[in-house]
Amino acid sequence: MQMRLSDIGEGIAEVQMKQWHVKIGDQIQEFENLCDVQSDKASVTITSRFSGTVRRLYCEVEEIVPVGSPLLDIEAEGVQFYCHGSENIPPDKAVDQSEEIQKRAKSDDSFTRSKGKKIVIATPSVRRLAMENKINLSEIKGTGPGGRIVKEDLLNMISANVDASDDEKKSFSTTSALIQDQVIPIRGYRRAMVKTMTSANSIPHFTYCDEVNADALIKLRHNLMSMDELKDVKITYLSIQIKALSLALLRFPMLNAYLNDTVTELICKASHNISFAVDTPDGLVVPFISDCQKKSIIQIAKQISDLQAKALNNKLTNAELVGGTFTMSNIGSIGGTYASPIIFPPQVAICAVGRFQKLPRYDEQGNLKMSNIMPVSWAADHRIIDGAMVAKFSNLFKVYLENPSLMLTELN
């Protein structure tokens, strides 16, 4: 029986294969995990609808798979598995994939014959990579099932070609690590970012910058980290900043809102679902912490750690990515001070926190001293949020962080 990639919703037309959990010959049970795929919105684990034996995998890791395409063949109990050939394979006969590949060599688009009549077995993505690098696939010995040429075979050939010509290229060496132009498909999280930022281009951004004296914030974090009962919790500045942000939003609900497409209604959201940016190898991803107005700093810190781990392992679900009401970007963890953050529609505001700096500042008595300064940058949708509101909101956020004990007065 053939399993195809079904519609996973949200208007997704294709996904990228990230990981197979099964291999040819594996005995699997119904609802067992088969593979992980990633769309431009989230990662999804595909489970089996049948119990049986895996007979064929149709795509490789990193390959793009359109919705409706076959994923794998499963030989279910008492049922013959699907095969493109004219023969039906009886259930009691174990079929090696390499034999099936040879049978299909004459009719499948994944097979071609070179002039030397050698069968070349490769996926479209491998053929495209070979074409871009002007490599004849018939010269490569495939290491995959049935002699299939996999991406690693091609990369090894490219590497060998580069090594062989190193002496010729030494006199033309440059500071660039690339030997030639590289084409990078816009997939997964990066494609989602393209869509979001293109949509944000229609929003007139109002930006506002300020600085926060972070001495009290640093002391609070140090005190929390020194508590024995919290030794297993990763307390970050971000967890405290998000709590302060949520408390400030209680006074300014218009900033925790969605603007509808026709710009006729502003929907103030009861839940403070604070999104935060995570830098991953696959691009920027923005999960959210739900109901921050109901959670403690410790609960927020735990959820940040969980979501960061999921993001770095491509395990975030769509439910953890779609639904944020306000976004905070901790760009300072990488570098930089002030920024011009871009709003994530349909949200109406965003905050970016810069890198802490030790700078000279005057205290209330007029004495000059070194202080830990945290730069803060805000952006708001100027169609419905005015500058005065952003300034007042920023002032309250600043008060909470510079005087953390005041946050206790707002807790229920």
Q: 392 in helix, strand or coil?
A: helix
- Residues with Cβ < 8 Å from 197, sequence gap 6 or more? 342
Catalytic residue among 96, 291, 363, 386: 386
**What is the Cα 216 distance to its own chain's centre?**
33
- pLDDT (tens digit, 9 = 90+) per residue, 353-399? 999 999 999 988 899 999 999 999 999 999 999 999 999 999 999 99
Contact in structure between 324 and 286 (CB atoms under 8 Å): yes
Angle at 74 between CA 70 and CA 80, to 5 degrees: 110
DSSP one-letter code for 124: H
Return d(Cα 34, Cα 23) in angstroms, integer. Answer: 9
Section 78-101 average pLDDT: 42
Catalytic residue among 210, 279, 306, 382: 382
Question: What's at 87, amino acid-wise?
Answer: E
Active site residue 382: yes
Which architecture characterizes domain 188-410 according to CATH? 2-Layer Sandwich (3.30)
User: Higher-confidence residue: 273 or 405?
Assistant: 273
- pLDDT (tens digit, 9 = 90+) per residue, 182-208? 777 777 667 777 777 777 778 899 999
Res. 325 pLDDT band, cuts 50 70 90: very high
Domain positions in the chain: 2-95, 98-185, 188-410
Count CA atoms within 13 Å of residue 372 on its CB side: 10
Q: 32 in helix, strand or coil?
A: coil
Active site residue 279: no
Q: What is the pTM of this model?
A: 0.61
Return d(Cα 351, Cα 353) in angstroms, integer. Answer: 7
Return d(Cα 203, Cα 325) in angstroms, integer. Answer: 16
User: CATH top-level class for 2-95?
Assistant: mainly beta
Res. 176 pLDDT band, cuts 50 70 90: low
Angle at 395 between CA 390 and CA 398, to 5 degrees: 125
Section 44-71 average pLDDT: 89
Q: Is the pLDDT score of 9 beyond 50?
A: yes
User: CATH top-level class for 98-185?
Assistant: few secondary structures
pLDDT of amino acid 79 = 56
The CA–CA distances, whole Å, from 169 to 116, 161, 166, 197, 326 equal: 32, 12, 5, 40, 52
The CA–CA distances, whole Å, from 301 to 323, 350, 407 equal: 19, 20, 17
The length of the chain in residues reads 412
